[in-house]
Amino acid sequence: MSAKEILQNYVAKTISLTDEQFDYFFSHFKPQSFKKGQAIITAGDRVNCEYFVTSGCLKAFYINDDLKMFILQFAMPTWWASDFDALYSGNVATIGLDCITDAEVLCLTNADREKLCKEIHAIEHFFRWRTNKGYVASQKRLLSFMNNDTKHRYEELLAQYPELYNLVPKQLIAAYLGVSRETLSRLYNS
């Protein structure tokens, strides 16, 4: 399936666009390819775009003063990723976005998203629902963090994304769960 078709299928789950409307919508996206390990957003950068993943796997992460990394999101195909705080507010990035594998994305600028939202009411609706879903998911993760122990959250993650198990280093899974790699290692070797 082409990047265009992946996006079209994804959009069709929320709104109905004519082919002409979708073509117009799609014309604002810029396809980009990245190699494993490449950075898409680096902390300190200005952020102009959000990225729709069509293949591969990204990580959105924060690095604290002690150089410890925390992963906010693994972005798989049909996921959106960016430093949304920086993107919306115009501040420089505090979140990095890197490729865990070779990856292809569709890049949409903030200005184009706002233009599209203004021009086509259905597209504003689409982006509202996308963020709604993200918000609910984020709340759920927060709750899981407060409520569940590491083992539980680890199993939860793998149940939701079994492919991560072979795809990403265990270190990164630990950084997503918010524990040290040693703790995660001990968790499933006992």
Per rule CB under 7 A, is residue 162 in the interface with DNA?
A: no
* List 19, 20, 65, 149, residue binding DNA (CB under 7 A): 149
Per rule CB under 7 A, is residue 179 in the interface with DNA?
A: yes
As measured in angstroms, the least distance from the Cβ of 1 to a second copy is: 27
The residues with which 108 forms a beta bridge, in sequence order, are: 50
Count the helix, strand and coil residues of the chain and give each as a percent rounded to the nearest 5.
50, 25, 30
> Which window, 54-62, 88-96, 135-143, 172-180, contacts DNA (CB under 7 A)?
172-180
Per rule CB under 8 A, is residue 70 in the interface with a second copy?
A: yes
Q: How far does the chain reach from its first CA to its final CA, in angstroms?
A: 42
Handedness of CA 171, 165, 186, 146 (dihedral sign): positive
Q: What mask of x and - would describe binding to DNA in positions 80 to 109, judged by CB under 7 A?
A: ------------------------------
Q: Give the pairing type, strands 39-41 and 96-99.
A: antiparallel
Q: Give the C-alpha separation, 59 to 26, whole Å.
A: 24
Residues lying near DNA in the complex (CB under 7 A): 36, 66, 68, 149-151, 169-171, 178-183, 185-187, 189
